[in-house]
Structure 1
Amino acid sequence: MRTGRDLKRISRELRAMDDKEIKKRFRKELRTAAAPMVPAVRAAIRQIPSKRGYSADGLRARMAAATKLEVRTVGKDAGVRLRVDGRKMPDKQKALQSYMEGLKRWRHPVFGSDVWVQQKPHPYFFRTVDPMGARTRVKVIKVIDQVAKDIS
């Protein structure tokens, strides 16, 4: 039980069984396995350097608030996903997390002039998640294996 296909197969079998308690436990245990990543990413966002100090209503606070964990056990997107959700950001800031990570080139006009500058990215997501990924993957695999045993 090591791939996303296995998760999809288990979710299919859970739907066929129609056992609400096992489904509920499965989602809860998957969420528990990946949950430590959320505060780590939020902390990394808050530590992004800025000329201004951290503010509870600033850009970094909005990005931290938009960080969420999604657990899906149905459909073709079955899996565990950690994301900084651009849909939770204000208008004209929906791609900020991609710019900050360096996935997109970040250019903007200097306030009060027609001069454009390129902003340096400050990667925060992958450098935080990558070291935690192996441990989380092992936990998720254990959850999948346990539920597979319970189904059998």
Structure 2
Amino acid sequence: MPAYYEIRGTGDFRRAARRLKEAGNGQLTRRMSRGMRTAAKPAVDAAQRSVRSLEASATRGGGGQARREFALGRKRKKTETARRKAFEGRGLRSSTARAIGTQVRSSGQSASVRVRVNTRQLPPDQRTLPAHMNEGRWRHPVFGGDRWVTQTVSRDEWFDEPMREHGPKIRQGAAKVVDDILREIAQ
């Protein structure tokens, strides 16, 4: 499973990126990036809802402690509010949902928008879990590593389904933004 879904620059995207670079207008580039992010937002929201609605056959203990400690370790001030938020958001599904976002790139050669799971926002030993959850099952050790269990989720392709559904809409929205920018540059 790919860790992201990408709509890469068609000819129009490439042409817009090249013209923006030639025009040297950072404001137009930022506006194009913002418009492409806006076009991808429904897909991000759908993927977040999808992962939060998963039901997993869980084992006791889980990785909640590790995710809480990881989130808390990233905070400069360890206030009571930060501790509470880290405790509330320690579950695998909520951690994964928070890690879903968009990445927009615009260079002289192409422009692209990606919806991806930023696994760097998860603890190092849990960064492969979103991909395994998308496949529907994974194995992991419990109680000191001498016993392994298979963990499953209620449905696989929690990430792929929303991307297939929203992919054409993202492309249309991004193409509209690019067309608007190209028209503005041509004037």
**TM-score per shorter chain, which class?**
0.7 to 0.9
- What's the % identity of the aligned pairs? 34
Runs of 4+ in 1 over 2 A off after TM superposition: 2-6, 75-78, 109-123
CA distance in 2 between partners of 1:22 and 1:76 (Å): 16
Paired AA for residue 124 in structure 1: W
RMSD: 2.5
Deviation at 1:124, TM superposition (A): 0.6
Paired AA for residue 106 in structure 1: W
CA distance in 1 between partners of 2:109 and 2:98 (Å): 27
Aligned length: 148
Deviation at 1:107, TM superposition (A): 2.0
2:122 aligned to 68, 73, 89, which one? 89
CA distance in 1 between partners of 2:145 and 2:9 (Å): 52
Counterparts in 2 of 1:87 and 1:50: CA distance versus 1, 3 Å: same
Deviations 1:14-69 (A, max 9, x none): 011112222222111111111111121111111110356xx631111110111111
Larger RCO: Structure 1 or Structure 2 (Cα < 8 Å, ≥ 6 residues apart)?
2
CA contact (8 A) 2:47 2:162 kept: yes
Q: TM-score, normalised by structure 1?
A: 0.83
1:119 aligned to 151, 158, 183, which one? 151
Q: TM-score, normalised by structure 2?
A: 0.69
Deviations 1:63-93 (A, max 9, x none): 0111111111126673000001111111200
Counterparts in 2 of 1:63 and 1:26: CA distance versus 1, 3 Å: same
